[in-house]
Structure 1
Amino acid sequence: MAAAPVWSVDPRTGKPREQVAVEATPAEVDTAVRAAHAARGALADRAVRAALLRTAADRLEAAKDALVEVADAETALGPVRLTGELARTCYQLRAFAGIVDEGAFLDVVIDHPDATATPPVPDLRRYKVPLGVVAVYAASNFPFAFSVPGGDTASALAAGCPVVVKAHPDHPALSELVAKVLRTAAAAHGVPEGVIGLVHGFDAGVRLIGHPLVAAAGFTGSVRGGRALFDAAVARPVPIPFHGELGSLNPVVITEEAAAERAEEIGTGLAGSMTLGVGQFCVKPGLVLAPAGEVGDRLVGALTDAVSRVEAGVLLDHRMRDDFVAGVAERAKLPDVESPVTPGAGGEHTVGAGFLTVPAARLAVEGEHDLLLEECFGPVTVVARYQDDTEVTAVLSRLPGNLTATVQLSAREAAGAGVGASILAELTPLAGRVLVNGWPTGVAVAPAQHHGGPYPATTSTSTSVGGTAVERWLRPVVYQGTPEALLPAELRDDNPLGLPRRFNGGLEN
């Protein structure tokens, strides 16, 4: 049977643009993984890895116009958004190059023998080594930053791990173009082009996670797809780490004082965050706890005005559009649910933004309204109106893990008075990033960033954004009693590579 064709589709019309490739056969998946595995040695030199990452950023920038044009044709995200995302991606590549240069991610620790300790300490030298080939499952909603050249690929290369990317079917032409750019960057530094593998097709993705030479995987996508791959990863004869970002409701709590102080500002800010990118951000605020009564009415009124002005938009593909339209319709039919601005179909190929309201008491106990506690991908949020703080606590206690959790406080509460501290204490167990008086959309690429959270937000405790993302693709190794002449250069007493390290209990930079 001939391999199925892979088509590039215009989401604005639903019509195919061109055939880009064919779905990878089992033999082709095997070839890609083996080529990546064979390229490991070429990444052993940190200087080569850093140079490769910087050259990749340079060449992506040089190809910007062509890449953005294809990305827009396949995703309808718009040139402005995509140009910014490409800039973020290049910044991220260079940031990991700097991390590789610095070397602190190797976590070098050296302890000389100490016969006086109880028990005695032998000569111990610890650092981290790359796991091996990393399978990367590209996301639909960030065709640069969470796809072929994104954070999983950049951090894996920084760790010294080749990658094989399973392309997302929503942007296959872009995936092919970007892979070619990355391979030219590799070739410029004598690294085999197989260091960046690319395969298409659902079956190829399943085979990839089961390949015996794949040592770890990174995924960004749905709960259903991510959980299936996670289960496959741990069911292998040799289980492997699976770092999946699956789904998130990203709750927001608005205190009564905050609503009274700046209802219009909060309503407008919420509208901008929940509709940004047509509501297709993984950190979109999907559940908002807002006060009932007059101050809450003012906030809902401001949100209504702002959302009503949002134009209909195109989702990434027609399957997502159909799921969104059906999902909001099902939620709107629930008892006591109202639609101040009705979300749903905005046209044949578009969707309209909107939001739903419901008494918070409906969400405080298990029942049919639990559907409102599930993520709905697209420009919609649920505003749960609470009567008192006990209802806020009851709803929060029922939420699963999230990428983010946000609280909007008054100036008095932000200064330490009132309920601010108690709400932060309730939100902290729910999310990997807790925000005060901000909005979760927008994930800065910075050393202190954490983009992850308790399940189902992610399947691990690691981050997919920020410098510490490199830790996902490393494992520690300790050498005990090893003669200096046999040690890796990273672990020698004279520190020939000038690495930051902990030496006999003290930090050295």
Structure 2
Amino acid sequence: MYNDTTQAELDQVLVKAVNAFHQYKTFSLAQRANFMRTIAQEIEALGDELIQTAMAETNLPEARLVGERARTMFQLTSYAAAAEQGNWLEASIHTAVPDKTPPKPDLRKMLVPLGPVVVFGASNFPFAYSTAGGDTACAFAAGCPVIVKAHPAHAQTSTLMANAILTAAKKCNMPDGIFSHVYGAGFEVGEYLAKHDAVKAIGFTGSFGGGKALFDWANQRKNPIPVFAEMGSVNPIFILPEKVELESESLAKQLAGSITLGMGQFCTNPGLLITINSEGLERFIQHLKREIKSVSPAKMLHQGIATNYAEKLTKALAQKGVQLISQTDEEIEEGKGLITLATTNGKTFLENPILHQEVFGPYSLIVQCADEKEFLEVAKALEGQLTATLMATPNDIRAHQDLLNYIQDICGRFILNNVPTGVDVSLPMHHGGPFPASTDSRFTSVGADGIKRFARPLSYQNWDDEFLPDELKNTNPLQIWRTVNNELTREQIS
């Protein structure tokens, strides 16, 4: 239905984006915010057509999509408010001291937009991480035009969202090229965009293979650019001895819900449960097996994800030393995910890196360590993760300080006695993590701090006040918070 965008067409899109950038970067924070709020209104105006289209393309239920649409609109409006507030600009000023030897210059610094940003739509979130999702909202807030490559699994849904953005752009008198929407079933379109000189940054949510390819292409350029790729993880849950002994049943119920939520198709799905052999662990496993069995399989997002899950699951279960605990035993139709729980020992896990890899779907592996020493060794062996979770009593925490110190080095979000699924859209949220969870652990793809990904610092030295950006003028006309001579203030500079 949708033909791949040709290179000639991509070149036209990129020329327009560059021209739009030189106009849009001069637009006020209020103008950017108004544009983003108008996009949210246009998405709402799509009504039931958007929901029904997404249901047909993704197999996601109506309630999930209605909630995700609301989240997407909230991202746009909350990031708009953050853009207007201006804290993300990190404006700082040191006024001149001319009688110092040597004279101290007037220095003023703030973040400025990078340029055209390419965003790749995610397969598992057709709204919130796709066409009008968080990456697009952050780029608009930062002052950057956006080129979205539609995910081929929900191209029609992506087109509806793109049309909403274009309608909003027209209503807000945005420059031509502020937003473009392109298609590509294979990797060729993505590679061409990643390597093009006009593109200044990339936002991506998806597989490790896809994100790493974009990262490599972008860094092979004559002028390398940042790639902000969120590539998923196994999100280990460390279950400490006293916790499992005292709360095995409630813990099993809590974790079963997280493992099977959305048929495991969240980048924060807990794929590893790491613990130490004990009687309490045996009870926990039986409770978890029962809870897992009570969940009915559902269709996965699309056949590509279902096929990939089946292949990786088969590979994981075929590894020496892995035992199946529970799996959906009913006959299921094609496209549904087998809900699966398996186990192995710590020694096997440490010796087999295949078991460390994400199996995207309703699968989790319990790693049963022989003792405290092996427990710590497993923690040390893990790669970067989006999240890591500690299930522990206060006594457990006091007794395992070394473990905590190692865990916090491998994750972007450290959770205590809660589950990783469910990513709150707020300023304190960090959705990212050390490689291979993401390509830059310093930045988040959720929350208004994500705006900073698409901006860079620019320092102005000895400029007359009238020629400075409003954000840095003495009178502070925007009334934003600034660090002036090492003090945070909204006051004018006299």
Deviations 1:85-137 (A, max 9, x none): 11111111111111121112111111112357676521111111101100001
Q: Give the one of 7, 28, 33 matched to 1:50.
A: 33
Match of 1:208 in 2: 193
The range that moved more, 211-220 or 330-339, is 330-339
Deviations 1:304-352 (A, max 9, x none): 0111111112122222222211222222222221111136983222122
The range that moved more, 234-243 or 32-41, is 32-41
Q: Partners in 2 of 1:247 and 1:118 — Cα distance?
A: 53
Q: Does 1:354 align with 2:340?
A: yes
Match of 2:283 in 1: 298
Distance apart, 1:81 and its partner CA = 0.8
Q: Report the aligned-residue RMSD.
A: 1.6
Q: Give the one of 179, 189, 208 matched to 1:196.
A: 179
Q: Does 1:25 align with 2:15?
A: no
After superposition, where does 1:215-254 map in structure 2 within 5 Å? 215-254=200-239
TM-score (norm 1): 0.92
Distance apart, 1:410 and its partner CA = 2.1
After superposition, where does 1:339-418 map in structure 2 within 5 Å? 339-342=324-327, 346-364=332-350, 366=351, 369-413=352-396, 417-418=398-399
User: Equivalent pairs: percent with the same residue?
Assistant: 38
Match of 2:320 in 1: 335
Q: Give the one of 90, 93, 103 matched to 2:76.
A: 93
Counterpart of 1:380, as a letter, is Y
Q: Does 1:462 align with 2:443?
A: yes
Q: Partners in 2 of 1:375 and 1:119 — Cα distance?
A: 58
Distance apart, 1:411 and its partner CA = 4.9
Conserved? CA contact 1:123–1:480, under 8 Å? yes
Q: Partners in 2 of 1:70 and 1:328 — Cα distance?
A: 30
What is the number of residues matched between the two proteins?
Answer: 484
Q: Partners in 2 of 1:118 and 1:170 — Cα distance?
A: 64
Q: Partners in 1 of 2:437 and 2:314 — Cα distance?
A: 25
Counterpart of 2:246, as a letter, is E
Q: Secondary structure at the residue paired with 2:37? A: helix
Match of 2:417 in 1: 437
Match of 1:155 in 2: 138
Conserved? CA contact 2:293–2:327, under 8 Å? no
Q: Secondary structure at the residue paired with 2:425? A: coil
Match of 1:446 in 2: 426
Q: Partners in 2 of 1:193 and 1:385 — Cα distance?
A: 58
Counterpart of 2:156, as a letter, is A
The range that moved more, 336-345 or 131-140, is 336-345
Deviations 1:329-382 (A, max 9, x none): 222222221111136983222122111101122123x3xx32110001111011
Match of 2:18 in 1: 37
Q: Secondary structure at the residue paired with 1:456? A: coil
Conserved? CA contact 1:315–1:351, under 8 Å? yes
Distance apart, 1:42 and its partner CA = 3.6
Distance apart, 1:77 and its partner CA = 1.3
After superposition, where does 1:467-486 map in structure 2 within 5 Å? 467-486=448-467
Conserved? CA contact 2:432–2:445, under 8 Å? yes
Counterpart of 1:502, as a letter, is T
Match of 2:85 in 1: 102
Q: Partners in 2 of 1:198 and 1:403 — Cα distance?
A: 29
- Could you list the runs of 5+ residues in structure 1 that have no partner in the other structure? 1-18
Q: Partners in 2 of 1:427 and 1:119 — Cα distance?
A: 48
Q: Partners in 1 of 2:96 and 2:398 — Cα distance?
A: 52
Match of 1:165 in 2: 148
TM-score (norm 2): 0.95
Q: Secondary structure at the residue paired with 2:424? A: coil
Match of 1:127 in 2: 110
Q: Partners in 2 of 1:493 and 1:291 — Cα distance?
A: 61
Q: Does 1:283 align with 2:268?
A: yes
Conserved? CA contact 2:293–2:328, under 8 Å? no
Q: Secondary structure at the residue paired with 2:77? A: helix
Q: Partners in 2 of 1:194 and 1:444 — Cα distance?
A: 32
Q: Secondary structure at the residue paired with 1:377? A: coil
Counterpart of 2:310, as a letter, is V
Q: Secondary structure at the residue paired with 1:240? A: coil
Q: Partners in 2 of 1:349 and 1:104 — Cα distance?
A: 46
Q: Partners in 2 of 1:131 and 1:192 — Cα distance?
A: 17
Conserved? CA contact 1:343–1:379, under 8 Å? no
Q: Partners in 2 of 1:114 and 1:140 — Cα distance?
A: 55
Distance apart, 1:261 and its partner CA = 1.0
Q: Give the one of 140, 145, 169 matched to 2:128.
A: 145
Counterpart of 1:215, as a letter, is K
Q: Does 1:424 align with 2:410?
A: no
Q: Secondary structure at the residue paired with 2:251? A: helix
Q: Partners in 2 of 1:346 and 1:360 — Cα distance?
A: 32
Distance apart, 1:247 and its partner CA = 2.7
Conserved? CA contact 1:206–1:229, under 8 Å? yes
Q: Secondary structure at the residue paired with 1:126? A: strand
